[in-house]
């Protein structure tokens, strides 16, 4: 929670913390899910504008009862469904379920290892009527971004300064770049 408080106090751009209790799959135990709900409440109490999370059931579908609880706990926050989407069994049904929940964005690589390989699926999802905003992520680079025509994308950068990595996450929206903390200058993708 200390990191979140620090970010909230020092960063002036909109930040949407990711809430994921562990790596691996997106099917969570009752204890893990309780931790997710507590983190959602904390993010809301700290005044962040949104958050990123996602929960699937064992069959690869959105765990609707749990996502409904997350949405209720999030209240007015913009919720992005993260790349759990790429593990779902039926992406169009999943997109409809997420729209029904009121999800603001879906972070996806088009169910491939990176967004360039999944570009055709991403474009299909973007064209889907009444869908949340589709945000491309994984493998997004300056050289492949202009050809993709995506409204938003996610990019994680780990520049090296004297051998030490410093993480920077940027979101590109409408040709603008929001940049989080880093000690090295990073060329803005345009």
Is position 13 within any domain?
yes
User: What HEC string does 102-161 produce?
Assistant: CCCEEEECCCCCCCCCCHHHHHHHHHCCCCCEEEEECCCCCCCCCCCCCCEEEEEECCEE
Residue 79 in this model has a pLDDT that exceeds 80: yes
pTM above 0.85, yes or no: no
Q: Is residue 116 part of a domain?
A: yes
Q: What angle do CA 27, 32, 35 make, to 5 degrees?
A: 135
> Which residue range is the domain that position 10 belongs to?
2-152
Residue 44 has pLDDT above 50, yes or no: yes
In this predicted structure, what is the pLDDT of residue 163?
52
Give a yes or no: residue 141 inside a domain.
yes
Q: How far apart are CA 172 and CA 170, in angstroms?
A: 6
**CATH number of the domain bearing residue 98:** 3.20.20.380
Q: What are phi and psi of 170, to 5 degrees?
A: -125, 150
Cα-trace Rg, the chain:
16
Residue 41 has pLDDT above 90, yes or no: yes
| CA 39 – CA 159 distance, rounded (Å) | 29
Residue 4 to residue 17: CA distance in whole angstroms: 8
pLDDT at 1: 65
Q: Is residue 27 part of a domain?
A: yes
Residue at 83 is within a domain: yes
* 115 within some domain: yes
Q: How many domains does the chain have?
A: 1
Q: Which carries the bigger pLDDT value, residue 125 or residue 170?
A: 125
pLDDT band at 127 (very low <50, low <70, confident <90, very high): confident
In a domain, 102, yes or no: yes
The rounded distance, in Å, linking the Cα atoms of 94 and 85 is: 8
Q: Which are the contacts of 87, defined by CB distance < 8 A and separation ≥ 6? A: 25, 26, 56, 60
Does residue 69 form part of some domain? yes
State the average pLDDT over residues 113-134.
77
CA dist 72 and 68 (Å) reads 6
CB 106 within 8 A of CB 132: yes
Q: How far is CA 82 from the centre of its chain?
A: 4
């Amino acid at each position: 929670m200390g990191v979140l408080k620090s970010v909230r106090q020092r960063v002036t751009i909109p930040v949407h913390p990711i809430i994921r209790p562990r790596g691996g799959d997106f099917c969570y135990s009752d204890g893990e899910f309780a931790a997710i709900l507590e983190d959602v409440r904390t993010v809301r109490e700290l005044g962040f504008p949104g958050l990123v999370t996602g929960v699937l059931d064992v069959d690869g579908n959105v765990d609707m009862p749990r996502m409904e609880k997350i949405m209720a706990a999030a209240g007015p926050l913009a919720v992005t469904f993260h790349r759990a989407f790429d593990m779902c069994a039926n992406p169009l049904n999943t997109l409809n379920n997420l729209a029904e929940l009121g999800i603001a964005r879906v972070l996806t690589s088009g169910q491939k290892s990176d967004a360039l390989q999944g570009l055709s699926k991403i474009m299909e999802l973007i064209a889907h009527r009444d869908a949340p905003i589709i945000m491309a992520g994984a493998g997004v680079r300056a050289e492949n971004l202009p050809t993709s025509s995506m409204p938003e994308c996610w990019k994680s950068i780990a520049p090296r300064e004297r051998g030490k990595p410093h993480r920077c996450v940027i979101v590109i929206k409408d040709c603008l770049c929001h940049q989080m903390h880093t000690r090295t200058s990073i060329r803005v993708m345009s």
